[in-house]
Amino acid sequence: MKKVLSLMLALMLALSMLTGCGSSDSGETAAGDGAETTVAANEDTEAADNGEEGTGEGVMPAIAKEDIKVGVIHLSDPAEGSGYTYTHDQGIIGMQQNLGLSDDQIIRKNSVDDTNVSEIDTAIRECIEEGCNIIFATSWGYMDTCEALAEEYPDVIFSHATGYKSNGVNFNNYFGRIYQARYLSGIAAGLKTETNKIGYVAAMGQDNSEVTGGCDAFAMGVYSVNPDAEVYVKVTNSWYDPEGEKQAADALLAEGCDVIGQHCDTPNPQLAAEEQGVWGVGYNSDMSKDAPGAVLTSVVWDWSVYYTKAVESVINGTWTGENYYEGLAEGLVDISPLSDLCAEGTEEKINEAKEKMLSGEWDVFSGLIETNEGEVVCEEGQTLDDATITGGINWYYKNVVVK
């Protein structure tokens, strides 16, 4: 995984995209997204490298709805009922219902270790052998295998979550502006804390822009309502580590943190907060069902927004190979309903910030941004561009403390 991260950084440097600040537009993407519906939230993708952009016309032939077959590669088992894999699978179910597909048109490969290349390769090839026309690979570590197999099987579409590679034809990546929802959840945490110490369990360290940018957005939301509060970060170095996630949360609680946020798979950090009689902010799905005595709100995805759009485009013959990157406005990301545990005034502050994002008046990575090392990474009147947000955030916001 470290090799993948190193490659990512090298590609970004080669493309000169680590510019800190980009256009003064607050949230517009180029035209398609590395998961953006508009171009890639990752303009540092191979497609961008090759000058490939979606044309709005299909680059793959249409497939009749009755002939479509969808493969899904999951990191864990959706039956666990919470967290990352569960949320992606809920998106697949939503897509299936939206498009009226039968159960036998969905092929799932569960608990595929994203660090085991042989296991990934076998799972994807099984999907192809079973007739899948489009395969969604939902974890970061599946990226390189998707890239290789996309070349080997040009008639199959490979759509990869959270990565940065694509070929502009039958291999794209998809993600979303989850940082918008993280900012909103930070407001809830900042208003609730009594110790002014807020914990954050992070799957990956500072060199992973997805995780670090999300943590920064959360910390910025905290700071917007409580500049005295600090966000303590503990890294597990794993996308899925139930035991490690609990241990990290316990360590943060021992530091005096009384709200626990997270960018990791399981609800274990929320369960740890509930055990200690404090509060938390969940991730992926609404974790109030797991820890009702602790969860203020959760940062949530509705992956059916993308899955429906992607599969429908294959059926209609309008698949463009573009990357996908959308957010609050499209319904891909949000926060779950606020619990009664939230501090007074939380809903009003969150709605105020959300309205600015939805109107285009402002976005999270806009204006003066200072790191915890005193560096200015964005100036007043500027906004970080999508390439930087998705691949160039290797710094922590000024109120973040790494533990």
pLDDT digits (tens, 9 = 90+) for 345-397: 999 999 999 999 999 999 999 999 999 999 999 999 999 999 999 999 999 99
| pLDDT tens-place string over residues 282-319 | 999 999 999 999 999 999 999 999 999 999 999 999 99
152 phi and psi, to 5 degrees?
Answer: -75, -35
What is the mean predicted confidence (pLDDT) over 76-80?
A: 92
CA distance 189 to 198: 7
Q: Which tokens hold the place of 346?
A: 């939380």
For range 328-334, the mean pLDDT: 98
Q: What is the pLDDT of residues 21-41, one digit of tens each?
A: 433 333 333 223 333 222 233
Give the integer Cα–Cα distance in Å for 131 and 172: 20
Q: Which pLDDT tens digit goes with each residue over 107-118?
A: 999 999 999 999
Q: Say if residues 218 and 186 touch (Cβ distance below 8 Å).
A: yes
Q: Residue 344 to residues 121, 339, 341, 349, 350: CA-CA distances in angstroms?
A: 51, 11, 9, 10, 12
Q: State the pLDDT confidence band at 269, using cuts at 50, 70 and 90.
A: very high
CA distance 187 to 10: 35
The average confidence (pLDDT) of the chain is: 88
DSSP H or E run through 158:
strand 157-161
9 vs 270 pLDDT, higher one: 270
SS3 396: coil
What residues does 70 pair with on adjacent strands? 106, 134
CA-angle at 289, arms to 266 and 325, nearest 5°: 55
Sign of CA dihedral 311, 317, 318, 324: positive
In angstroms and rounded to an integer, the radius of gyration of the C-alpha atoms of the chain is 20
Q: Got the DSSP string for 184-252?
A: HHHHHHHHH-SSSEEEEEESS-TT-HHHHHHHHHHHHHHHHH-TT-EEEEEE-S-SS-HHHHHHHHHHH
Nearest to residue 212, comparing CAs of 377, 337, 96, 59? 377
Residue pLDDT, tens place only, 39-64? 233 333 333 333 333 344 789 999 99
- The alpha-helical segments, DSSP class H, found in 360-403 are 386-391
Q: Report pLDDT digits (tens) over 209-224.
A: 999 999 999 999 999 9
Band the pLDDT of 18: cuts 50, 70, 90: very low
What pLDDT is recorded for position 80?
85
| pLDDT of 333 over the 90 cut | yes
